[in-house]
């Protein structure tokens, strides 16, 4: 019986490790969507004058699209757990400046934020690489200790 509980412990703790590492994965996906939206917006502003409401409908489903649409509908900025203070502040500032200026000013803003966005995206990729296996290993190790203690 204890053997089964021990094995179950290993599985649960490993899954918990994977769950924690998933945050970094979500963050990377968020910044990819963020960068894509920024690029799309720059193109649409210059050539088609499409509205942000229209552009947001064509985005991939994900946290970024949901947060953007929530802001457009209600003015509320969704707090995403995996964003740290600086990242959230960048996102919030981006939303506040979205669509409330003429083409020239809007383009200047979108261009100015592009570099910073790229840096956050790179950091998210590195974090994902660094912590993904770490969380899995820690989860597995804790599960193993639990297994030893139980049997």
Interface residues with another protein (CB under 8 A)?
45, 49-54, 72, 75, 98-106
Q: Are 147 and 10 in contact (CB under 8 A)?
A: yes
In the complex with another protein, the residue whose CB is nearer, 101 or 149, is 101
Closest distance to another protein from the beta carbon of 54 (Å): 7
| CA-closest candidate to residue 35, choices 90, 99, 79 | 90
Q: Are 52 and 72 in contact (CB under 8 A)?
A: yes
In the complex with another protein, the residue whose CB is nearer, 69 or 131, is 69
Closest distance to another protein from the beta carbon of 43 (Å): 13
In the complex with another protein, the residue whose CB is nearer, 68 or 83, is 68
In the complex with another protein, the residue whose CB is nearer, 18 or 65, is 65
Angle at Cα 55 formed by Cα 107 and Cα 119, nearest 5°?
55
Question: Token pair for residue 21?
Answer: 């590492």
Written as one string, the DSSP assignment of 66-109 is HHHHHHHHH-PPPPPTT--HHHHHHHHHHHHTTT-S-HHHHHHH
Closest distance to another protein from the beta carbon of 51 (Å): 4
Closest distance to another protein from the beta carbon of 115 (Å): 21
């Amino acid at each position: 019986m204890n053997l089964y509980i021990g094995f179950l412990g290993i599985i649960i703790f490993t899954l918990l490790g994977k769950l924690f590492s998933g945050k970094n994965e979500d963050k990377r996906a968020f910044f990819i969507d963020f960068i894509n939206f920024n690029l799309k917006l720059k193109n649409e502003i210059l050539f088609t004058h499409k509205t942000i409401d229209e552009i947001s409908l064509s985005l991939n489903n994900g946290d970024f699209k949901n947060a953007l649409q929530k802001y457009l509908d209600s003015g509320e900025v969704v707090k995403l757990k995996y964003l740290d203070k600086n990242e959230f502040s960048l996102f919030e500032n981006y939303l506040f400046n979205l669509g409330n200026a003429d083409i020239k000013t809007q383009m200047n803003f979108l261009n100015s934020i592009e570099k910073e966005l790229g840096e956050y995206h790179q950091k998210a990729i590195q974090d994902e690489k660094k912590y993904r296996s770490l969380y899995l290993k820690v989860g597995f190790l804790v599960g193993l200790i639990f297994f030893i203690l139980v049997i």
